[in-house]
Amino acid sequence: MGPKGEAKVAKKPKEDRKPPLKKDKKPAFPPKPVLSGEEKREKKSALRAISFPFPKLVEIGRIALIKRGPDEGKICCIVDVIDANRYLVDGAPVGVTRRPVSHSDIYLTKFVIRIPRGTGTKNLRRNWEAAKLTEIWEHSKLAKKLLDAKKREAMNDFDRFKLARAKQIRNRIVRQRFVPMLRKARREGTLKPKKRKHQKKRKIIGAPKA
């Protein structure tokens, strides 16, 4: 009997058991298949054909627009990626010095040039001029939009009045030409009617049924 009146149970001797047989362990990662040069090229082309949900990716050679700082409004090229939020950019052909910038200080554009990682300013200038990047940027929609915004900021009250008056005259001329053509098309029956969407009746919650 134990100290509290509990009976002690004698432990049975353990039976001699044989250790389990060790199975041959399979490698955690199978060996990579050795690809030939042609197979590697096909694999790369297949990866390029994949459409990403975000077409503007941070990559070496991506052209970006600087949004803040002394070089605001100029474009630069991403030469290297420092970390998730900082990139090394260079834009010597347009007067941007080689320096690190934050992700929030640039805007990625759709233009990309093929350069190696960490390329020097001399090689970048050569590829920049070969791609005629400055001319392409000046004729892009984004550059024209920024130029128009600068012109609007520089306008005074009288310039804005003249612009509004010119828009009124333009709209009047368009209306004088368009309305007779519209009436003629309606008389001849060549005008396609607009498709009207079916309007659903509003359901009033708690209203008595008719």
pLDDT tens series, the chain, 210 aa: 555 555 555 555 555 555 565 555 555 666 777 888 888 888 777 766 655 566 788 899 999 999 988 899 999 999 999 998 999 999 988 999 999 999 999 999 989 998 999 999 999 999 999 999 999 999 999 999 999 999 989 999 999 999 999 999 999 999 999 999 888 888 888 877 766 665 555 444 444 454
Q: Phi/psi of residue 172, each to 5°?
A: -65, -40
Q: What is the pLDDT of residue 204?
A: 42
Q: What is the pLDDT of residue 50?
A: 59
C-alpha angle 136-119-49 in degrees, rounded to nearest 5:
60
Q: What is the pLDDT of residue 37?
A: 81
Q: What is the pLDDT of residue 55?
A: 72
**Which 3 state secondary structure label does DSSP give 81?**
strand
> Which CATH number is correct for 62-149, 1.10.10.10, 2.30.30.30, 1.10.357.10, 3.40.50.1980?
2.30.30.30
Distance between CA atoms of residues 21 and 176, nearest Å: 96
Q: Phi/psi of residue 177, each to 5°?
A: -85, -35
Q: What is the pLDDT of residue 33?
A: 77
Each domain of the chain, given as residue ranges in start order, spans: 62-149, 155-186
45: left (phi over 0), alpha (psi -120 to 50) or beta: alpha
